[in-house]
Amino acid sequence: MSTTPKTENVKLSPMVRRRTAKDIAARKSGEPIVCLTAYITPMAARLDDYCDLLLVGDSLGMVLYGMDNTLGVTLDMMIQHGRAVMRGAKKALVVIDMPFGSYEESKEQAFRNCAKVLSETGAGAVKLEGGIEMAETIAFLVKRGIPVLGHVGLMPQSVNSYGGYGAHGRTENEWQPILDDAQAIAAAGAFATVLEGVAAPLADKITEKTSNPIIGIGASNKCDGQILVTEDMLGLFSFNPKFVKRYMELGTEIVASVEAYASEVRARTFPSDEYTYKMKD
């Protein structure tokens, strides 16, 4: 008698294929690339079905830790949040921001730290800020198997040099250096580039003139994709940048919910019987 189990009625779960840097690179001038930030497991799980790319941004320093800027974020913080996002996201390409000071010193330092991030999180790529000055480092990383998402225009890690977060490229004499930056890192092998805080006509030109996908934030709807900080578009903060559309006012809803909870606790109406345990018979 055969002992082989019958399998004709067994339904196997289909394998879920995670998007890769190569998949994103292939979207140049194609279907727009949908990107959002994610820092924690439950949020990543909720975004995963709708996003092509989830960025574990160093913006977590401001969003989660109340920092004034991103400069105090550490490599260990990025690794821990990268692991959390990877637990929640099964389809989207997960990209980890390299924090300030972790890659600028040399291409060798960049490789060591980027390799550490990818090996300890399982993420699919890293993001570096910088243009022409980072092209050699990006090429070095890509040749050694580390996919890199670039970032030009307004670069938050350079906030002290800029003297703030103002938009760039709002006069034409500012255009060429930003275009040169975008083209340099595309040539170096960045699979895509985040273009932040630039005038729309410049963003259109950069999207047209660069070989890799351009992902806009505060740029133009003609970019190859868009990214926002999730907590911004959900309305968790009172400050709202010009380029952020609020798709809901979650902050207001949270306050209303907590107000209702506090009122019920003080009135001893919560927990009511349906939320308490009864004795066993």
Alpha helices, DSSP H only, in 1-50? 21-25, 41-47
Closest to 70 (Cα-Cα) out of 178, 154, 134: 154
Distance CA 153, CA 175 (A): 10
Q: Is 58 annotated as a binding residue?
A: yes
Give the distance from CA 250 to its chain's centroid. 20
In the set 105, 172, 196, 208, the catalytic residue is 196
Tell me the C-alpha distance between 125 and 96, whole Å: 6
Under 8 Å between Cβ of 198 and 172: no
| DSSP single-letter state for residue 173 | G
Question: How far, in Å, CA of 216 to CA of 226, rounded?
Answer: 5
- Based on the residue annotation, tell me whether 253 is a catalytic residue of this protein: no
The answer to whether 59 is a known ligand-binding residue is yes
Pick the closest to residue 228 from 50, 108, 30 (CA basis).
50
- Torsion 74-75-81-85 (CA) sign: positive
**Residue 259 in marked binding region:** no
Residues noted as catalytic: 196
Q: Which residue numbers belong to the known binding site for 3-methyl-2-oxobutanoate? A: 58-59, 97, 127
